[in-house]
Structure 1
Amino acid sequence: MNIFRLAGDTTHLISVLILLLKIYATKSCSGISLKTQELYVMVFVARYLDLFTDFISLYNSVMKVVFITSSVAIVWCMRRHPLVRRSYDKDQDTFRHYFLVAVSFVLALIFHDKFTIKEVLWAFSIYLEAVAILPQLVLLQRSGNVDNLTGQYVLFLGAYRGFYILNWIYRYFTEKNYTRWISWIAGIVQSALYADFFYYYFISWKNNSKLQLPA
């Protein structure tokens, strides 16, 4: 494992811990898109179906379990926890995320490495992860002001993708015949979606002001 992948996994894990901290400490999911969290559950379940069939390393297996269980726990809290669910702004979180699921699945059926259930679901998870943040970004734009924990959650989630792009570049130059064009294209699309958020986050940090996204 190279340093870029480790950094990517670390920032991804930090983003999840920040979100869990926000929910646990404040008993609130204000500013968090349930639809984005549900999409991430689909991403992790589809991608890590090989958990019980293919063993790569203990680290790999533990991270798979952590991301599946944490994403399910977040969705459960937002839907079922009596205090947390009251703070969910359903009226603002109206992005039609099922379109993202449908388009990602169609793309996976057409563009994949091999036409098997495992590979199609892997491709589906890659395409869906690339756009899963959209409902969250739209919700933040509609709400305007972004609290610190929510802003940090999205920041570390975007950083995770950035480190993984560096990981792919590193592996391309250091590993023989390493090509993952599906991941590369999806990763670039995903990074582009974060560009606007990173810009306004940097401006707020530079001016030492509260993060605000234009509606």
Structure 2
Amino acid sequence: MGSDDTLGKAKDPLVAVVQWVKTRPAGTKLGLGVGGAVLLLLTLWRTIKDHDTLFVLAEIAHFIGIGVLGYKLQQKRSVAGLSLQSQLLTATFLAVRLFCSFMMEYDIHTVLDGLTLAATLGVVYCMTATEMRLTYQKEQDIIKFYVVLIPCALLALVAKPSTSHFYLFRVFWAFCVYLEAVSVYPQLRMMQKAKVVERFTAHYVFALGLSRFLSCAHWILQILEGNKYLLQALGSGLWPVMVLVSEVVQTFVLADFCFYYVKSYAEGSGIVRLPAGIV
């Protein structure tokens, strides 16, 4: 029996499509990628009437990704391939956002954030306080969490919401928006260093990429529909622009990985191999 990270050759029409795309010039590949993204956006635009649903779907995708990690920990009793630094950053922005939700707007997002935070803390516990900590590849987890956290905190002091909420709440909200946008960076660098990505870790990061795409799609579709409030907000100060930039940056940070993830499974290998320049 082969490795559990190998699926065997998949006999599927998708394989033929991927092989055809691989033989196209770089410009054609870029055009096909952009065209596919636009087509998906248009599909979401026509099928989802309440665009706030995209935020809920994004949070569900994140929670499912954490669930995949939980399954890995239970089945393999190993945290190999996981970045503790990214998990700490994720727990931090979720905790801050959960606090802000309780203070500013309690809704379904608060519940989903609470569930995702609990699951993330469970992963952190496994990585630091159980026998699984012996499988943590610390030497490959080279980006320390405070290197990412501190710039986000400083930026939150400069660009934050101008609502009527208490000043500290507005800073906290901005902080968690910026931190969420870059929290996956240590994980991506760790995977780049390893070159070959463990299967369950790949599922988790792909779920994050899907989550970010859905969240970014919300803002793009609002603009396409000519949302007057949003368009006015984008021209009224630095904060709305920074929110949109954070969404776009995080989406593009994960886009390369998602491409190699889909490519590996379409080819039937199930092993994600990253080139040196992905991050």
Both proteins in one fold, TM over 0.5: yes
2:266 aligns with one of 193, 206, 211:
206
Counterpart position of 1:78: 127
More deviation, 12-21/48-57: 48-57
In 2: Cα distance, 1:51 partner to 1:201 partner: 33
Quote the residue 2:106 is aligned against: 56
Counterpart of 2:216 in structure 1 is 165
CA deviation after TM superposition for structure 1 residue 186, in Å: 0.4
Task: Tell me which amino acid in the other structure corresponds to 1:15.
Answer: G
Partner AA of 1:18 in structure 2: V
| Matching of residues 93-132 of structure 1 within 5 Å | 93-114=141-162, 116-132=167-183
Q: Which residue of 1 aligns with 2:88?
A: 38
> Which of 245, 249, 272 matches 1:185?
245
Match in the other structure for 2:254: 194
Partner of 2:97: 47
Evaluate the alpha carbon distance shift between residue 55 and residue 4 of structure 1 in structure 2; reply closer, same or farther with a 3 A threshold.
Answer: closer
**Secondary structure class of the residue paired with 1:48:** helix
Deviation of the 1:182 alpha carbon: 2.7
Q: What does residue 7 of structure 1 align with?
A: 57
How far the C-alpha of 1:131 sits from its partner, in A, is 1.0
Shift of 1:213: 1.2
How big is each residue's C-alpha offset from its partner over 1:71-104, in whole Å with a ceiling of 9 and x where there is no partner? 211111110012x111101111111331211111
In the TM superposition, what is the alpha-carbon distance from 1:23 to its structure 2 partner? 1.3
Within 2, Cα distance between the matches of 1:187 and 1:140?
22
Does the 8 Å CA contact 2:212/2:250 hold for their aligned counterparts? yes
Return the alpha-carbon distance in structure 2 between the equivalents of residues 192 and 55 of structure 1. Answer: 29
Question: In the alignment, does 2:211 pair up with 1:150?
Answer: no
The amino acid that maps onto 1:69 is A
What amino acid sits opposite 2:200 in the alignment? L
Structure 1 Cα separation of the partners of residues 209 and 251 of structure 2:
7
1:19 maps to 2:69: yes
CA displacement at 1:48 relative to structure 2: 1.7
Q: Distance in 2 between matches of 1:117 and 1:188?
A: 26
Per the alignment, do residues 54 and 106 of structure 1 end up closer, same or farther by CA in structure 2, a change over 3 Å counting? closer
Cα distance in 2 for partners of 1:54, 1:110 equals: 20
Identify which range, 70-79 or 167-176, moves more after superposition: 167-176
**Deviation readout 1:129-159 (Å, 9 max, x if unpaired):** 1111111011111112212211111001110
Structure 2 spans left out of the alignment, 5+ residues? 1-49, 234-239
Indicate the RMSD between aligned Cα atoms, in angstroms: 1.9
Q: Distance in 2 between matches of 1:196 and 1:133?
A: 13
Point out the structure with max Rg over C-alpha.
2
Is 1:90 matched up with 2:141? Answer: no
Secondary structure at the residue paired with 2:175?
A: helix
Give the aligned length.
213
Secondary structure of 2:117 counterpart: helix
Q: Secondary structure at the match of 2:139?
A: coil
- TM-score, normalization by structure 2: 0.71
Deviation at 1:21, TM superposition (A): 1.1
Shift of 1:174: 7.2
Q: Secondary structure at the match of 1:91?
A: helix
Any idea what SS the aligned residue of 2:138 has? coil
SS in 1 for 2:78: coil
Distance 1:6 1:41 in 2: 19
